[in-house]
Amino acid sequence: MSAPAARPHRDTIIVEDAELVARQAWPGEQYVLRLRAPGIAARAEPGSFVHLSCDADRPMRRPLSIQRVDAASGEIEILLKVVGAGLRTLAAQPAGTRLSCMGPIGHGFVAHRERPRALLLGGGVGMPPMVFLADRLSADATTGWRPLVLLGSEVPFPFRPRPSTILVPGIPAGVIAAMPLLEELGVPSRLASRAGLPGCHAGFVTELAAEWLAGLDAASRAEVEIFACGPTPMLEATARVAQRFGVPAQVSLEEFMACAVGGCAGCAVRVATPAGPAMKRVCVDGPVFDASAVFPPPA
């Protein structure tokens, strides 16, 4: 993958009438939706998201990460977990429904070639950007990317885990559950859960990440960069792991969003900058930020 350069957001976000092509239900009120949105599919980058209408009568859209794109068919895939009324309405829409879709929004993840060992951590509905990034890295033959994806969930995963056929040194032998799609892409993955799911690490993804990092020698560790999306405590734990092992990390934040195009400042968060603390909008300045800027090392 050519590492995507940070790009301005103006004139890059479009609105299109997306057709809901397919809808797959998974336990825990999780749904994978495929939408035909060719303009967005052509422009999306790992870490970018859409601001999607749940139905024509509900004015507030919902921000949802892009999990996969197929530029040839013009389709994007999203994973949603119902929280309240908006996503419940969206999840109930039948195939064929047209939904207003705004996107792709935000600055995504930027992978650096000098650190080909990309460690991707996804928790819950933070999994989609990691799947997208792994897909892009595996498709890029110009760099010898060596991604490892660790996914965590406290409800059954929104796919059927299967034992991995890809050996990952440094991961305990019993931790073998993997995501089939990533296996097919040739990308090693492992799963973590405290819900007693078979073949999973019984704990958090960040613990598994720390165990893997601890097993690397200094030269290998110097090739690692961490990318993470998930609940805030997971992102903070990611920042601490990165600081402990001295590797850079990027995290994708979630905030309540109204406009999602930078106009209302409703999604602003405090981040550290070289000029001191500053308020940044998660929708267009993020959602991906340097982990240490959001979670500075403890004094």
Ligand X SMILES: Cc1cc2nc3c(=O)[nH]c(=O)nc-3n(C[C@H](O)[C@H](O)[C@H](O)COP(=O)(O)OP(=O)(O)OC[C@H]3O[C@@H](n4cnc5c(N)ncnc54)[C@H](O)[C@@H]3O)c2cc1C
Residue nearest to ligand X (CB): 84
| Residue type at 34 in one-letter notation | R
Is residue 234 within 8 Å of residue 123, measured between CB atoms? yes
Peptide bond into 287 cis (omega under 30): yes
What is the H or E stretch that residue 247 is in? none
Q: Per rule CB under 6 A, is residue 139 in the interface with ligand FES?
A: no
Three-state DSSP at 39 gives helix
Cβ–Cβ < 8 Å for 149, 136: no
Q: Which of 14, 91, 259, 269 binds ligand FES (CB under 6 A)?
A: 259
**Structure tokens, 64:** 């949802």
Q: How many residues bind ligand FES (CB under 6 A)?
A: 12
Q: Nearer to ligand X by C-beta: 173 or 256? A: 256
Under the binding rule (CB under 6 A), the answer on residue 61 touching ligand FES is: no
Omega before 104 cis (within 30°)? yes
Out of ligand FES, ligand X, none, which partner does residue 263 contact, by CB within 5 to 8 A per kind? ligand FES
CA 101 to chain centre: 19
15 binds, among ligand FES, ligand X, none (CB under 5 to 8 A by kind): none
Q: Which is nearer to ligand FES, 172 or 263 (CB)?
A: 263
Output the smallest distance, CB 167 to ligand X, in A: 30
Cα-trace Rg, the chain: 18
In the complex with ligand X, the residue whose CB is nearer, 78 or 210, is 78
Output the six-digit token pair for 113: 């070639």
- Which lies closer to ligand X via its Cβ, residue 115 or residue 281? 281
Beta carbon of residue 234, minimum distance to ligand FES (angstroms, whole number): 22
175 binds ligand FES (CB under 6 A): no
Binder among 83, 265, 270, 279 for ligand FES (CB under 6 A): 265
Q: Pick the closest to residue 122 from 69, 180, 65 (CA basis).
A: 65
> 19: number of CA atoms within 13 Å, CB side?
8
279 is a site residue for ligand FES (CB under 6 A): no
Give yes or no for residue 269 binding ligand FES (CB under 6 A).
no
201, 202, 206, 207 alpha-carbon torsion, rounded to 10°: -90
Q: Which residue's CB is nearer to ligand X, number 90 or number 247?
A: 90
Q: Is 264 in the site for ligand FES (CB under 6 A)?
A: yes
Q: In the window 228-257, what residues touch ligand FES (CB under 6 A)?
A: 257
Tokens (6 digits) for 224 = 């690692």
Q: Which of 100, 122, 120 is nearest to 111 (CA)?
A: 120
Among 197, 209, 228, 260, binds ligand FES (CB under 6 A): 260
Residues that bind ligand X (CB under 6 A): 49, 60, 62-65, 78-87, 125, 128, 254-257, 287
Asked if 267 interacts with ligand FES (CB under 6 A), we say: yes
Nearest residue (CB) to ligand FES, 216 versus 258 = 258
Supply the DSSP string of 71-115, one letter for each residue: TTTTEEEEEEE--SHHHHHHHTPPTT-EEEEEEEESB-----TT-
* Minimum distance from residue 66 beta carbon to ligand FES (Å): 17
- Write out the residues near ligand FES by the rule CB under 6 A: 257-260, 262-267, 281, 283
